[in-house]
Amino acid sequence: MNNQMEYRRGRHCIFDLHVHLVFVTKYRRGVLNSEHIRFLAGVFADVCARFDASLVECDGEDDHVHLLVTYPPKLAVSTLVNSLKGASARQLRNRYSVRTHRNHLWSPSYFAASCGGAPLDVIREYVENQRTPQ
């Protein structure tokens, strides 16, 4: 990706929203290998496409995965997360015999952080300086 901003357009908005997600396996059990993570990346990309979102990057280790997703403003991150975790667990279980705890691959919690754009201090200063004294 180049350094130039690439905005997406909706019917009534222009946006560039990214979220960094981390899903941890139940009890942080090390059940994932590199083949599983490659398979999960495909599942995550398919789920994102159904929500008009895009999987930008995906990788992980034996007990967690990191995702970078760009998504439209109409989509709640929690809705996306629920679909990502549900579909990935179901499809991974169907494809591979992955050891899970009582058929639960993922911990019910997750990490989500907005990312991209300018640092908050820069944005705060920009907003504060909108009305200049005349």
In this predicted model, what pLDDT tens digit does every residue of 23-54 receive, in sequence order? Answer: 999 999 999 999 999 999 999 999 999 999 99
Averaged pLDDT score across all residues of the chain: 90
Domains, the chain, ranges and CATH?
A: 8-128 (3.30.70.1290)
In this predicted model, what pLDDT tens digit does every residue of 1-28 receive, in sequence order? Answer: 345 668 888 889 999 999 999 999 999 9
133 vs 97, residue with greater confidence: 97
Q: Whole-prediction pTM value?
A: 0.87
User: How do beta strands 8-9 and 17-25 pair?
Assistant: unpaired
pLDDT at residue 96 greater than cutoff 80: yes
The pLDDT value given to residue 2: 46
Q: If you average pLDDT over residues 109-130, what whole number do you get?
A: 85
Q: What angle do CA 90, 91, 96 make, to 5 degrees?
A: 105
- Integer Cα distance of 59 and 74 in angstroms: 26
